[in-house]
């Protein structure tokens, strides 16, 4: 920004325009004074064309060129900025975070440990990592993963995993086998397609009991062995419990209030007023004021202590039962396999030592049969 002093300043503007100088933001301060903005290059031109009638003085320098000039004069700052930039560029050559998506947390932790063997870990140099080789090796070694993609995004290694849908276990029909119960159940129905059903509906079985036999050996007949096949639907129960106290402590305000001021210097605090005299109280911050100035971390905080009385209050029974039943139901549902059909549930409540326990039994119908090959 320049200031021009002189008479007939219109003439000065015309002279500047004739010399090819672009003048911006021209303001007439008075009859003999004018303020304007020119570029540094035009300023030299202007000073050369201005006759002795006019005085051109620079009032303020601003702009990119001036900023760069000022910056270059502060060498330590420039060196510091260059070092920071260099450090940022150097840091970008390393992996600082490994982010895995597509699988649950437990599997992700296991995969992270495995990735360390391939050199992918926080702090690893990117240049030493062969992404394609790692992807191929992981896909080959993990049947449960259909696809793995590893790529770098800035300083993070992003690992995207697509879990595979594993095919159902195939039963070799040429090998004799039995169908056994996978878990304890009450038999609902048995459909033997090959072999002999050895259990009836209504009968209970333990895990491992034969339900359809592949070995048929009756008196007077030759011993026959074949691959048993069929469907065994059993009634299986899953149980889960949740517990909560039947009463809770509530803090009832008495109405008595005491204020206390505390001085804070950074993270350290010291009381200004005497401490609170109440046995039980709730504290609330009602004001915070800087002591010295805005830039120093010294503040005075006003605290309000409200006296409370602790009382025991019964939780509404129906609400508590509903809450516990719902929680226990969802917990039990987590144990139910995907192929099982939920047919009902039952809840049992039990109160003991001030604690109420809800136990939910979920009843399911599911195929409990599993093939076990017969040994000769």
Partner 1 sequence: MQKKPRKLTQRIAKRLQMAPEAAGCLRITLIDNTHAFVENHQGVLEYTARRVCIRTPQMNVTISGQGLVLERFGREDVGCGATSGSCSMK
* CB 159 within 8 Å of CB 151: no
Binding segment for partner 1 (CB under 8 A), chosen from 22-30, 88-96, 189-197, 198-206, is 22-30
307 closest CA partner among 359, 249, 255: 255
Among 13, 139, 198, 303, binds partner 1 (CB under 8 A): 13
* CB 371 within 8 Å of CB 234: no
Nearest approach, Cβ of 54 to partner 1 (angstroms)? 14
Nearest approach, Cβ of 10 to partner 1 (angstroms)? 5
Does 14 bind partner 1 (CB under 8 A)? Our answer is yes
Nearest approach, Cβ of 20 to partner 1 (angstroms)? 6
Does 2 bind partner 1 (CB under 8 A)? Our answer is no
The burial class, CB within 10 Å (0-12 / 13-18 / 19+), for 234 is buried
Would you call 145 helix, strand, or coil by DSSP? strand
Among 7, 22, 67, 256, binds partner 1 (CB under 8 A): 22
Binding segment for partner 1 (CB under 8 A), chosen from 24-32, 85-93, 162-170, 342-350, is 24-32
Q: Are strands 229-245 and 298-314 parallel, antiparallel or unpaired?
A: unpaired
How many Å is the maximal CA-CA distance in the chain? Answer: 139
39 vs 264 by CB, closer to partner 1: 39
Does 335 bind partner 1 (CB under 8 A)? Our answer is no
Does 28 bind partner 1 (CB under 8 A)? Our answer is yes
Tokens of 18: 């004739």
> What does each C-alpha distance from 246 to 214, 243, 313, 317 come to in angstroms?
55, 9, 9, 8
37 closest CA partner among 76, 72, 75, 66: 66
Would you call 206 helix, strand, or coil by DSSP? coil
* CB 301 within 8 Å of CB 295: no
Does 27 bind partner 1 (CB under 8 A)? Our answer is yes
- Rounded Cα gap, residues 182 and 234, in angstroms: 10
Site string for partner 1, 30-69 (x = CB under 8 A): ------x---------------------------------
Count of residues touching partner 1 (by CB under 8 A): 16
Binding segment for partner 1 (CB under 8 A), chosen from 8-16, 115-123, 239-247, 323-331, is 8-16
Nearest approach, Cβ of 50 to partner 1 (angstroms)? 15
Where do contacts with partner 1 occur on this chain (CB under 8 A)?
Answer: 9-10, 13-14, 16-18, 20, 22-28, 36
């Amino acid at each position: 920004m320049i200031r021009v002093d002189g008479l007939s300043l219109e003439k000065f503007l015309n002279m500047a325009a004739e010399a090819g100088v672009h003048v911006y933001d021209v303001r007439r301060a008075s009859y003999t004074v004018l303020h304007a903005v020119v570029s540094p290059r035009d300023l030299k031109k202007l000073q050369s064309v201005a006759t002795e009638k006019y005085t051109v003085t620079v009032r303020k320098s601003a702009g990119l060129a001036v900023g760069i000039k000022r910056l270059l004069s502060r060498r330590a700052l420039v060196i510091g900025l260059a070092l920071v930039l260099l450090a940022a560029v150097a840091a970008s050559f390393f992996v600082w975070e490994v982010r895995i998506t597509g699988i649950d947390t437990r599997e992700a932790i296991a995969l992270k440990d495995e990735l360390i063997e391939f050199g992918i870990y926080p702090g690893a140099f990117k240049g030493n990592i062969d992404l394609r080789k790692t992807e191929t090796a992981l896909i080959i070694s993990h049947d449960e993963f259909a696809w793995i993609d590893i790529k770098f995004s800035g300083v993070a290694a992003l690992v995207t995993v697509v879990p595979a849908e594993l095919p159902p276990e195939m039963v070799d029909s040429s090998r004799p086998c039995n169908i056994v119960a996978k878990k304890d159940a009450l038999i609902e129905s048995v459909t033997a397609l090959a072999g002999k059903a050895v259990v009836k509906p209504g009968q209970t079985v333990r895990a491992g009991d034969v339900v359809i036999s592949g070995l048929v050996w009756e008196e007077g007949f030759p011993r026959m062995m074949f691959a048993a096949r069929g469907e065994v639907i059993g009634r299986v129960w899953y149980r889960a419990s949740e517990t909560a106290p039947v009463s809770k402590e509530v803090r009832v305000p008495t109405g008595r209030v005491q204020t206390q001021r505390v001085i804070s210097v950074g993270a350290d605090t010291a009381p200004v007023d005497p401490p609170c005299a109440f046995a039980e109280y709730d504290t609330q911050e009602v004001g915070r004021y800087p002591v010295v100035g805005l830039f120093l971390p010294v503040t005075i905080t006003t605290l309000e202590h409200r006296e409370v009385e602790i009382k025991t209050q019964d939780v509404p029974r129906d609400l508590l039962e509903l809450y516990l039943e719902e929680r226990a139901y969802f917990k039990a549902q987590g144990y139910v396999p995907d192929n099982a059909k939920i047919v009902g549930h039952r809840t049992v409540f039990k109160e003991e030592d001030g604690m109420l326990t809800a136990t939910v039994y979920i009843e399911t119908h599911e195929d409990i049969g599993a093939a076990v090959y017969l040994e000769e």
